[in-house]
Amino acid sequence: MEGNGPMSGTPMAHRIALASTDFLAVDRVSLECMGIDPTWLGYLNYAYQAGLGQYDLAKIDVIGTKIADVQKKYRLHADVDRMLEWRGPMQDLPSNLGRNGRPPLVGLPVDA
């Protein structure tokens, strides 16, 4: 889906299927197939730095059709510029962000 998804987007008839045991590698290749700058998805780089998968396209074995042969430029959401503001300088956030004034939750193991 491209554009203002997931509710108002336009389906794309890309007709490809991607699979991998490495979620990071398949997301990275997917972005290349859709013509999307992978640096726009911060979690990919964070996950790579944490050792959760492969981000470097040169180190990912793509079996089958070449990426360049299936690449299509997807139209992005109309608010993509606003959505990418997370890459800017950090701003002070309220200490209760997402907690509605409640104390933070901490999960601890329960003794059996």
* CB-neighbour burial class of residue 32 (10 A; exposed 0-12, middle 13-18, buried 19+): middle
Instruction: Please report, for the chain, the start and end positions of each structural domain, with discontinuous segments joined by +.
Output: 2-87
This prediction has a pTM of: 0.70
Quote the DSSP letter at residue 84: G
Determine what percent of the chain is predicted with pLDDT higher than 90: 38
Q: What per-residue confidence (pLDDT) applies to 91? A: 59
**Contact (Cβ atoms closer than 8 angstroms) between residue 86 and residue 42:** yes
- Mean pLDDT computed over 43-51: 88
With cut-offs at 50, 70 and 90, classify the pLDDT of residue 1. Answer: confident
pLDDT digits (tens, 9 = 90+) for 58-86: 999 999 999 999 999 988 888 888 777 77
CA distance 2 to 17: 17
Mean pLDDT of 43-52: 88
Own/partner long-range contacts of 20-28 (Cβ < 8 Å, ≥24 apart): 22/53, 22/54, 22/60, 23/52, 23/53, 24/48, 24/52, 24/53, 24/54, 24/55, 25/53, 25/54, 25/55, 25/60, 28/54, 28/55, 28/57, 28/60
